[in-house]
Amino acid sequence: MGIETAVRHGSAETRRKILARLRSVAGHVRGVERMVEDDAYCVDVMRQVLAVQRALDRVNAMVLEDHLEHCASTAIRSADPKERERTIAELLEVFEMSSKL
C-alpha cells in the first residue's frame, strides 16, 4: 500500500483568505441570528442579511478567480479534449446557476 497524496485545488494563500472570510461571515450570521432573537427592527435585519450576502458573493468571486487561475487554466491547456470540454461545461453551469439567483 502506497501513501496517497491529497489533491489540493487552487492556491494555499487564497484558501487561507477564503477561510478567514468565511469565518467572518459565520460570525456575522450569528450576529444576525441574535438580532432576530432580540426582536431587532426588520429593516436592520434585512440590511445585515444583505451584508452577509455581499460577503458571500465576494467569497464566491475569490473561489472563481482562484479556480480560473489554477484548476481551469490547467484543464483548458490539457491535451485531453474531454477534460477541456468538461471544464468549460462546468464553468458554464456555475454561471447559469448564478444567473438564476
For residue 22, the one-letter residue type is: L
CATH (domain of 47): 1.20.58.1000
Radius of gyration of the chain (CA): 19
Residue in this structure with the C-alpha cell 501513501, named with its chain if needed: 3
Indicate left, alpha or beta for 11 from its phi (over 0: left) and psi (-120 to 50: alpha). Answer: beta
| Better pLDDT: 71 or 32 | 32
pLDDT tens by residue, 41-57? 999 999 999 999 999 99
Count: domains in the chain? 1
**Inside any domain, residue 6:** no
Q: Which distant-in-sequence residues (6+ apart) come within 8 Å of 63 by Cβ?
A: 10, 18
Q: The pTM is what? A: 0.77
Examine residue 81 and state whether it is found in any structural domain, yes or no. yes
Residue 46 placed within a domain: yes
1 within some domain: no
Cα 10 to chain centroid, rounded: 12
Amino acid sitting at position 95: F
Segments forming the whole domain that contains residue 27: 12-99
The pLDDT of residue 1 is 47
